[in-house]
Amino acid sequence: MPFPRTSLSSFLSSAKNALNVAIKNGEKVTFVVGNESADLDSICSAVVLAYLRTYSPRNRTKALYIPLSNLPRADLGLRPELNPVLERAKLRVGDLISLDDLREGLKAEDTKWILVDHNALQGELGKVYGERVRGCIDHHDEEGKVPNKELCEAEGEMRIIEKSGSWGEEDTRSWDAELAYLALGPILIDTNNLQSKDKTRESDIDAVHFLESLIEKAPKISETPWNRDQYFSLITTAKEDIGQMSLRDILRKDYKQWNERGMNLGISSVVRDITFLLSKVGSNEKFLKVLGEWGGEKKLDICAVMTTSHKDGVFKRELLVWALGEKGVECLKRFKRDGGEKLGVEGLGGGATGSE
């Protein structure tokens, strides 16, 4: 028999308690974790998948899956886009389980890990628990990084909800809606409200329609009917509200790092343009100083910043690449030589590239 189903908030409370008990008593535990950037998709997907696995009728082992947000608790404040999603799901930021809850004393051999939104455990978690990965669900090709282990088909992280289906009982419909709000947020953001031709797949459209049906079946808690555009606008507005953040916080808000051919590479994704970032510190020199300090802190050979913006309704993307150290400089010199003209590479501020 599976666990008796409950609300998302009660589930997270139980998961946090179970983790504390496991650490104290040396018990085995199964985690569901998103990637190092810990963006809206990774955080919400981990909670949704852990919830579904825990309460699925197929969970005959009675394993309680623990959703882990892949960042320190203090950094959750750098995710303002979480607030409107969690509010609709009747959750608070404090309900989430973070790296701060993963204290010393939890032996690697006592853990199993399922990955969402990535296919290889990176960073400090990867060093300690990388060999304990038992499955992944990701929209990228699996690349053989989870060999001989459970692999979920890459058909969209939230598609598993439709496969599991709603439990359908009258008193669980509000829980269905909570889960649907949590799942819908990342889909709408990643597909630009299903308007992006490059990112929207048939499975995304099907999943949104299914999730919306769960919301519409739920007991009405207000006179305002469900409005997808309004929900998308709330999340987007919150996501772009980074004006009060320092430049360093903006750089680490949505950050990924990896090693390629012996070089450490890191990229910060930002929802405002380079001009906005320069305005945070007042000059190119101060901007590069902060960027260099961030790259040094992360021990990078190449540090990149990728921006997206919608000036006058026109979508714009920029990529700034900065080298730190001899290996990085040589790599960017080759990059400029081989593809600089084709890609329209310029120096910061629009001039010639005088330094890497």
Contacts 24+ apart (CB under 8 A), 126-134: 132/108, 134/30
Whose structure tokens read 């990535």?
118
Torsion, CA 194, CA 198, CA 203, CA 204, rounded to 10: -30
The pTM of this model reads: 0.84
pLDDT number for residue 139: 59
Rounded to whole angstroms, what are the CA distances from 341 to 153, 318, 320, 337, 345? 39, 16, 15, 8, 6
pLDDT number for residue 342: 81
Which domains, from first to last, does the chain contain? 8-234 (3.90.1640.10), 247-343 (3.10.310.20)
pLDDT number for residue 104: 74
Separation CA 106–CA 66 (nearest Å)? 14
Cβ neighbours, 10 Å, residue 292: 14
Tokens of residue 113, six digits: 């890990």
Q: Residue 346's closest CA among 284, 294, 295?
A: 284
Residue 136 pairs in a beta bridge with: 115, 151
pLDDT number for residue 57: 76
* 350 class by beta-carbon count within 10 Å (0-12 exposed, 13-18 middle, 19+ buried): exposed
Q: 10-residue block means of pLDDT along the chain (356 residues)?
A: 84 96 93 92 95 83 91 92 96 96 87 90 88 80 52 41 50 87 95 92 93 88 82 95 94 90 94 94 94 95 93 85 92 88 74 39
* 212 class by beta-carbon count within 10 Å (0-12 exposed, 13-18 middle, 19+ buried): middle
Cβ neighbours, 10 Å, residue 76: 18
Q: What is the DSSP letter of 77?
A: G
Separation CA 340–CA 48 (nearest Å)? 43
pLDDT number for residue 349: 55
pLDDT number for residue 223: 62
pLDDT number for residue 172: 81
Rounded to whole angstroms, what are the CA distances from 155 to 64, 152, 160, 179? 24, 9, 9, 19
pLDDT number for residue 119: 83
pLDDT in tens, 17-69: 999 999 999 999 999 999 888 999 999 999 999 999 898 877 777 789 999 99
* 243 class by beta-carbon count within 10 Å (0-12 exposed, 13-18 middle, 19+ buried): exposed
Cβ neighbours, 10 Å, residue 285: 9
pLDDT number for residue 154: 34
Q: What's the mean per-residue pLDDT of the chain?
A: 86
